Chain A
Amino acid sequence: MGNTEALKNMDRAVQERTKVLFLEHQQRIFKQTDRLFVGLMMFQWIAGIVIALVISPKTWMGPASQTHAHVWAAIFLGGGIASFPVALGIFAPGRIMTRNVIAVAQMLFSALLIHLTGGRIETHFHVFGSLAFLAFYRDWRILIPATIVVAIDHMVRGIFWPQSVFGVLTASPWRWVEHAAWVIFEDIFLIRSCRRSVVEMRHIAERTAQLEAHNQLVDVKVKERTRELFESKEELASEITERKKLKNMMIQSEKMAAVGQLAAGVAHEINNPVGFISNNIEMLEQYTTDYTKILRMVENLQKSIEEENMEKAKSIVKAMSQFEQEINLDYIINDTGKLLQYTQRGIERIQKIVMDLRTFAREDHGAIDFVKIEEVIDSILSIVQNELKYKAELKKNYGDTPLVKCNTQRVGQVFINLLVNAIQAIEKKGAIEVKTYKEDGHVCVDVRDTGKGIEPKNLEKIFDPFFTTKPVGQGTGLGLSVSYEIIKKHGGEIKVQSKIGEGTVFTVQLPVNL
């Protein structure tokens, strides 16, 4: 029902637009033809004067002469005939009055030119040519005044000067009808042509209106589709952002999973220095008590000397000497320095582990820095130190490598995954080598282990998400997949070579951006 109503409205709009377009087109033709006739009138006026001057410049009386009446007629009557239609054509083009006056004037010009050329039969064609010209208006109604002018001219002259128009003095008073009939004969064809032109103009207007309506419809549809596309683009953009967020979350989760996995080892690494720091503090506490006792004795000795109580001073010195021997003061003094030194080292070690862990585990904001890849590896090694030291001998083989532009946390996450995998691949005791070198515009890092190796059938799958050969609870299956993603994003590559029973080498290649 709604669609039918919309179609009806559209039809109505097309009809109204057709009417407007038709009238605009018609008006344009009227104005153009008016302008054409303005030029033609001026031309005919000048042509009439030239004809008069050439054909009949003078009238004679024996050897004497004077300007011929035709010259005056061409100038004044021709000018008079042309003046009004020219003025209307210039100042009121397109009006019905204008084209009717032009039609009348045009036929008057025909008559004038016939007179000026001495009634030549050829000039009579001007009448028929003028009617054809008037048909340019595509308004058959203006042929009526034109025809009436011809008819009246013949009728009036037929009545008053019959010989001038019919050649004989005794012509039938209705002979003018015959002349008019020939004009009407041409009119019939011209009227038919005008009407057909008007029908064609209506068709054109209708088609244009339909085309416009169709274009408007298309325009609306295009706008609608553009809006929909824009909306889907926004949705897509938000989805991409969401996916990026999720991916980052996944990477972070994977990282935290690695941290969790390493937490016990890290705790153990921290616990060791904490243990000996605690022991050292305990010893230092004991030493402090001894130092305090000695200080008290020194204090009492000072007082006795001040009081000049030498007996008391001697007994104090004796007691002090006894106490020094008892506690072995030289050893304590020597040990105190060592204990403080060891404690200091222990604290520094804890600080480093905590800092490395914090650096690795903190939330990633995507910061890119120029870094030495070996520093990143060392930082990661301190986190995995506990796992590493019981299962493998670490061999570092660092080359002279340039700075690389990377996200430290992300690349660190890759090395943690590779090192943990290497450690887990070694069943009893083995070796892990970390080698850095520069090759073909890349900084390369090999992580080689002497573990059990990867089966060839699994080599293709190891970078797939959720693929793992580890027992349940030991791996997420995302480690290598995330590592692959991270290195790809850095414009690098990660490759693997493995042999069952001999070990595996992972090679990370990062482009040198300097």
Chain B
Amino acid sequence: MKRNKHAVIIVFIVWALIVGLGWALLSHYENVPGQSQPLPEHWPLATKVRRTPGLPTLLMFVHPHCPCSRASAGELSLIMAHSQKKVRAQVLFLRPETLSEQWVKTDLWDSAMRIPGVEVVMDDQGKEARIFHANVSGQVMLYDARGNLVFSGGITPSRGHQGDNDGRDAIVSFLTKGIILHKQTPFFGCLLFSSLQQS
């Protein structure tokens, strides 16, 4: 009887360790951000993305099949709810060279289309992503009305996880109060290009 009890306790400890380890791995995976590259501090001349004079521009680069970016789309809809007419927001969906437009038009595309005040653009062969040095789905850049980069990073608290986060606060704060709370935040998502390694 006593032996059984000890065995159960040992099994419990083993179980707790295994589950704890699994939990740690999952948490680590979800909380390790993408590696940031130096971004253009001023609006690049090579881009074909349009700006509206007198309005800041928000760009979000998205891999159309990235499940983690659903959380980013959700957060963007919250940002737009606060500051719809204070920014020109554009979501750029990657379309690799060999793939059709249909491949791009996923449920994520539809979700982005439904966000009021957001333009959804197809980024053929990832040209714009390369111009802006974006390499991770869900990566956001905010340029002020004069074309200066005021914020870059993610707008989710962790990978594919919605919720209060510094990125959203920083953008909303700049658009509503003109205050820059954070210049950069970590970003989480699928890699836009296979040639780049995810950190």
Q: Which residues of B contact A58 (CB under 8 A)?
A: 65, 67
Q: How many Å lie between the Cα of A55 and that of B68 in the bound state?
A: 9
| Among listed B53-61, B84-92, B111-119, B158-166, interface-contacting one | B158-166
Q: How many Å lie between the Cα of A104 and that of B65 in the bound state?
A: 34
Q: How many Å lie between the Cα of A486 and that of B134 in the bound state?
A: 127
Q: Which residues of B contact A115 (CB under 8 A)?
A: 26, 30, 161
A414 within 8 Å of B by Cβ?
no
Q: Identify which of B27, B67, B96, B166 contacts A70 (C-beta below 8 A).
A: B67
- Interface residues in A139-167 by Cβ distance below 8 A to B read 157, 160-161, 163-167
A92 contacts B67, CB within 8 Å?
A: no
A65 contacts B19, CB within 8 Å?
A: no
A211 within 8 Å of B by Cβ?
no
A97 contacts B161, CB within 8 Å?
A: no
Q: Identify which of B15, B23, B96, B186 contacts A62 (C-beta below 8 A).
A: B96
Assuming A61-B193, A62-B191, A168-B169, is B162 touching A73 (CB within 8 A)? no
Q: How many Å lie between the Cα of A76 and that of B23 in the bound state?
A: 11
A182 within 8 Å of B by Cβ?
no
Assuming A77-B23, A80-B18, A119-B157, is B30 touching A164 (CB within 8 A)? yes
- Interface residues in B65-94 by Cβ distance below 8 A to A read 65-68, 70-71, 74, 94
Q: How far is the CB of A119 from chain B (nearest CB, A)?
A: 4
**Interface size bracket, B side:** 35 or more
User: Interface residues of A: mostly helix, strand, loop or mixed?
Assistant: helix
Assuming A62-B94, A163-B186, is B22 touching A76 (CB within 8 A)? yes
Assuming A118-B70, A169-B166, is B160 touching A77 (CB within 8 A)? no
B45 within 8 Å of A by Cβ?
no
- Interface residues in B149-199 by Cβ distance below 8 A to A read 156-158, 160-166, 168-169, 185-186, 190-196, 198
Q: How many Å lie between the Cα of A229 and that of B160 in the bound state?
A: 84
A472 within 8 Å of B by Cβ?
no
Known interface pairs A76-B22, A164-B27, A166-B164; 6 further A-B residue pairs with C-beta atoms within 8 A, sorted by A's residue number: A58-B65, A59-B66, A69-B26, A77-B19, A80-B19, A101-B15
Assuming A64-B194, A161-B31, is B12 touching A119 (CB within 8 A)? no
Assuming A63-B98, A92-B8, is B15 touching A167 (CB within 8 A)? no
Q: Mark A78-100, 1 if CB is under 8 A from B, else 0.
A: 00110110001000100001000
B163 contacts A167, CB within 8 Å?
A: yes
A84 contacts B15, CB within 8 Å?
A: yes
Give the number of chain A interface residues (Cβ < 8 Å).
Answer: 45
Assuming A61-B198, A77-B26, is B66 touching A163 (CB within 8 A)? no
Q: Identify which of A60, A62, A101 contacts B12 (C-beta below 8 A).
A: A101
A161 contacts B65, CB within 8 Å?
A: no
- Interface residues in A160-199 by Cβ distance below 8 A to B read 160-161, 163-170
Q: How many Å lie between the Cα of A69 and that of B30 in the bound state?
A: 9
A367 within 8 Å of B by Cβ?
no
B46 within 8 Å of A by Cβ?
no
Q: Mark A106-127, 1 if CB is under 8 A from B, else 0.
A: 0010011001001111000000
Q: How far is the CB of B164 from chain A (nearest CB, A)?
A: 3
Minimal Cβ-Cβ distance residue in B for A104: B16
Q: How far is the CB of A188 from chain B (nearest CB, A)?
A: 26
Q: Mark B130-148, 1 if CB is under 8 A from A, else 0.
A: 0000000100000000000
A61 contacts B186, CB within 8 Å?
A: no
Minimal Cβ-Cβ distance residue in A for B63: A60
A56 within 8 Å of B by Cβ?
yes
A73 contacts B137, CB within 8 Å?
A: no
A118 contacts B71, CB within 8 Å?
A: yes
Q: Which residues of B contact A59 (CB under 8 A)?
A: 66-68, 190
A475 within 8 Å of B by Cβ?
no
Q: Which residues of B contact A81 (CB under 8 A)?
A: 19
Q: How many Å lie between the Cα of A70 and that of B71 in the bound state?
A: 14
B162 contacts A118, CB within 8 Å?
A: yes
A56 contacts B67, CB within 8 Å?
A: yes
